[in-house]
Structure 1
Amino acid sequence: MPLLTVQPKPITNENFAKWGQVVRLPDADPNAVQVNQGTAQKFSHLAQFVNHRPAVSDTANPNPSLKSADANIAIFKCYKPVTADQFPIKLLERHSYSSQMFMPMGGDGNGSYVVVTAENGPDDKPILETLEAFKCNNTLGINYKPNVWHHPMIVVEKPVQFMTITYESGVGLEDCEEYWFTKESGEEGGAAALIQLQQS
């Protein structure tokens, strides 16, 4: 049988809302304020950053089965753009207890990346048939909600560096859970779906 093939769609606030938020400079924001002695505008609350685990500073941990977590501000240097017409999907990952934000650094609008998401199933695994793909230019960031299945970032056209923020505790499966589509693909390490990066 032919593999499920998904065409990325241009990302919007509306079509990405079930997965998280698009982090972008608003076209108009009545709540924007002048700051820095009138030399800048501040646009606040552009994403909803969530931590479902207690902070390290919380001495009254309401859930002792979960280790406390701190925000990890990191840089992902995606230095190998995908040049193929199609990209194989072999796995997805999720962060059950934390949002995860990716914000391109120095984006000039001439590069882009693709975001891939899927719904969680009744067996607590991603549902392959619900895969969605979104194309973003490198001036836009995205913020995943906790527990959203997604593929690691797919950079096309040219390298992109992302600043990321994720709450992490250092406990492997609590920080990041992977699901490999071995069953769906029918082979170890095989592709279960394709993302169409170039028009055929």
Structure 2
Amino acid sequence: MNPSTPQQTLTLPVIQPKPITNENFERWGQVVRLPDADPNAVQVNQGTAQKFSHLAKFTNLRPAATDSANPNPTLATAEANIAIFKCYKPVQDPQFQIKLLERHSYSSQMFMPMGGDGNGSYVVVTAENGPDDKPVLETLQAFRCNNTLGINYKPNVWHHPMIVVEKPVQFMTITYESGVGLEDCEEYWFTKEAGGVQGGAAALINLV
């Protein structure tokens, strides 16, 4: 069934993305952007560039292999994985179905567009964790980001995989990964019992 049909529009909550800001995204992580003014910026590269430091807080909650006080010795150690996500297929529909969320329990995850010119955008979707350790459907939020902005999720934040609109975007990403599936990335698929309807969709995100 098409996600924009009247039947599903009436059944599912519809969320309008808001422009992302440092303030409204703070509970989920940080917006990675060039500051308008930074008194701590320094001149580098023989005076040909400025360096803006500590734009996001990147966290690895796994203990080091040499930590003798490790409270969870079964938890695998992790290395930072610097990867590129090539989001080559922008969403063309006016609404997008949310069928799943994911989280990285032990690591931040940063997405930084490469070569962003400000003429494309992507949508970030987040939700709170509930007392049953699952995402709370009623807390879904959506944020619109132009392709000059990056975002950095805190560990354990439920979020949807990147939703690219208008034009393809390549993201450089950094995540601490151990190679142990559920420790690296946990997915939660909405079902009818969990608030989803036909096809498992739990909400619609407006993209126009």
Q: Shorter-chain-normalised TM-score: which range?
A: over 0.9
1:84 aligns with 2:93: yes
* Corresponding residue for residue 77 of structure 2: 68
* Residue number among 91, 94, 110 corresponding to 1:101 in the alignment: 110
> Moved runs in structure 1, 4+ residues, more than 3 A?
none
User: Do structure 1's residue 185 and structure 2's residue 188 form an aligned pair?
Assistant: no
Gaps of 5+ in 2: 1-9
In the other structure, the counterpart of 1:113 is 122
Q: In the aligned structure 1, how far is the partner of 2:115 from the partner of 2:154? A: 24
Letter in 2 for 1:115: V
CA distance in 2 between partners of 1:31 and 1:21 (Å): 18
Q: Percent identity?
A: 84
Match in the other structure for 1:196: 206
**Which position in structure 1 is the counterpart of 2:25?**
16
Query: 1:145-179, CA deviations, whole angstroms, 9 ceiling, x for partnerless residues?
Result: 00000000000000000000000000000000000
- Name the SS of the counterpart of 2:200 in structure 1: coil
State TM-score, norm by structure 1. Answer: 0.95
* Residue number in structure 1 paired with 2:15: 6
* Structure 1 range deviating more: 63-72 or 137-146: 63-72
Counterpart AA for 2:51? K
Task: Please tell me the residue identity of whatever aligns with 2:25.
Answer: F
Gapped regions of structure 1 (runs ≥ 5): none
SS in 2 for 1:67: coil
TM norm structure 2: 0.91
- Is residue 132 from structure 1 mapped to residue 141 from structure 2 by the alignment? yes
Measure, in 2, the Cα distance between the counterparts of 1:30 and 1:52. Answer: 31
Q: How many equivalent residue pairs?
A: 195
**Could you tell me how far 1:186 is from its partner in structure 2?**
4.0
